[in-house]
Amino acid sequence: MDVEPYSSMEEPLIDPANFFLARVNGKNVLIDAGPSAKPPSSFPLNLKVEAILLTHWHWDHVRGITWAARNARYVCASEETIKSIDPGKASERMALVVRAVFGESEESLTAMKLVVQAMTSFYSDAAKALGQANVYTLNECPIIRKGLVNYVECPGHSHDHVCYVIGDHAFVGDNMVPGSSVTLLDYRKYLDSMVKLLGEKWEVAAVGHRGPFLDKVSASRYIAEIVKGKLERLVFIAALAGKGWVSLFEVFKRVYGGNLSPKGFVAARSLVGYVSLLEELGIVKVDRSGAPWKINVDI
């Protein structure tokens, strides 16, 4: 099977985001569409695309449907992904992270407002494009129904993440970023998802950032490193929180240095995920009644 990688870059990304054009039984399928509202110059714009398949709702994978959906017959995504590509819901989710970690101080709200506004506008672009496209959920998706594409639900990085297996390729979205760390919303689900995905038949992983391709052995090594790195971080966070009630912003400062940039926002999103897992494991108590949240290791 032919697979062509494309990538595009947009602020505030740290790495360009990849998306892929695959030729399946004579039909062109696009897996994700990148972060940019314009196609990369190398993309064959007159190409007729049968389907765009979305891995997850994050703007750097879906905003490109603004241009890509014009030449595509239809778009397929999970119900959760379709529901999440909504500027209102996206900004609500982001506001929750901002409140939980940064609280409601003027300084943090002003800094985070810019981050949230920029990303919300990306979701408006994607939602508008989706509104004008022919959209199918995965079970209704014609190319999946024909058996040419398989999908595996793989939540962890995001709640809605789906990986696609086409021929010997697995399109794994943001689950295996070589050379840097994957941000995780849910550590346990990530682990489950990756074990499940590695059990599927494929040889090459097509990844959302860097790469763009990894063989299966390298892919499993990356997953092992990510899991190990996240466990270390978990221990680190619990240790740095110390005893007694401490605000999540204080923990954020101790772990990430209190950076109020877009990168800081991404780190804050991970911190909320870690704290929820620490709570689930019975290691910390979380007080969500105020802003920022407070945690207590001494339970």
Which residues bind to Zn ion, rule: CB under 5 A?
58, 174
- CB nearer to Zn ion: pick between 50 and 174: 174
Phi, psi of 78 (to 5 degrees): -70, 160
Question: Least CB distance from residue 57 to Zn ion, whole Å?
Answer: 8
Question: Least CB distance from residue 154 to Zn ion, whole Å?
Answer: 12
Question: Least CB distance from residue 223 to Zn ion, whole Å?
Answer: 16
Question: Least CB distance from residue 58 to Zn ion, whole Å?
Answer: 3
- CB nearer to Zn ion: pick between 66 and 270: 270
For 156: left if phi > 0, alpha if psi spans -120 to 50, otherwise beta; the answer is left
- CB nearer to Zn ion: pick between 49 and 207: 207
For 13, 61, 108, 135, 268, the CA distances from 261, given in Å and listed in that order, are 12, 21, 10, 35, 10
Question: Least CB distance from residue 107 to Zn ion, whole Å?
Answer: 27
How do beta strands 150-153 and 162-166 pair? Answer: antiparallel
Question: Least CB distance from residue 202 to Zn ion, whole Å?
Answer: 20
Q: Which residue's CB comes closest to Zn ion?
A: 58
- CB nearer to Zn ion: pick between 50 and 160: 160
Q: How far apart are CA 174 and CA 177, in angstroms?
A: 6
Question: Least CB distance from residue 275 to Zn ion, whole Å?
Answer: 20
DSSP state string for 56-103:
---HHHHTTHHHHGGGEEEEE--HHHHHH--HHHHHHHHHHHHHHHHT
Identify the CA nearest to 166 among candidates 180, 185, 147. Answer: 147
- CB nearer to Zn ion: pick between 58 and 230: 58
**How many C-beta atoms surround the C-beta of residue 282 within 10 A?**
8
- CB nearer to Zn ion: pick between 10 and 174: 174
For 24, the 3-state DSSP assignment is strand
Around 90, how many Cα atoms within 13 Å sit in the side-chain half-sphere? 25
DSSP state string for 202-232:
-SEEEESBS-SEEEHHHHHHHHHHHHHHHHH
- CB nearer to Zn ion: pick between 81 and 108: 81
